[in-house]
Structure 1
């Protein structure tokens, strides 16, 4: 099945693991066949295995020519998934570009990747 929870169809949503509940939320959003899907912190609270499954699902959605607006603090996930990245620091945009360009940006390095005081 598309989101990886078909085997759980007879289960109540409240009994699902956290990762399965997040995939169910994405399935609900996809049910309307949108061209754009917004995902707000989809990896928050997920373990490493759940994040791998989430990444595979997001890749599948992308490969179906849907646009994804991903809001996420997991820098590794963002850099591995996104074609373009906009970085905010306390609500202000500090960088925008390809993942490779953003990773080299001094403001991003200071705020998120290394020497910042956050």
Structure 2
């Protein structure tokens, strides 16, 4: 978003409507983005587990007398495992950032609803 989203201290009803629409639309977009990132993260996690299992079997065959600690270390430093971990960590970081973005927009939306509710109560009391 190019312009910062700022809720005025004393917004007009028109501003409330416009800001609420903006927050609602943005929440929907961020929610879609979050779902995509979560899918990428889940796929990367599945692939990581599969590659780790494949590498463990490979190293068990190559080093039949190696203990579990050595085999785990061999798997952990394997290039394919490292690359897949990198993809997983990147996806996880995007999920965390997008969850934070979602929470921020949700808080803005809640704030706007509360302001609108207060304004409605004030208008009713004037009548």
Structure of higher RCO (CA pairs closer than 8 Å, 6+ residues apart): 2
TM-score (norm 2): 0.25
TM-score (norm 1): 0.26
Q: Which has the higher strand share?
A: 1
Structure possessing the higher radius of gyration over alpha carbons: 2
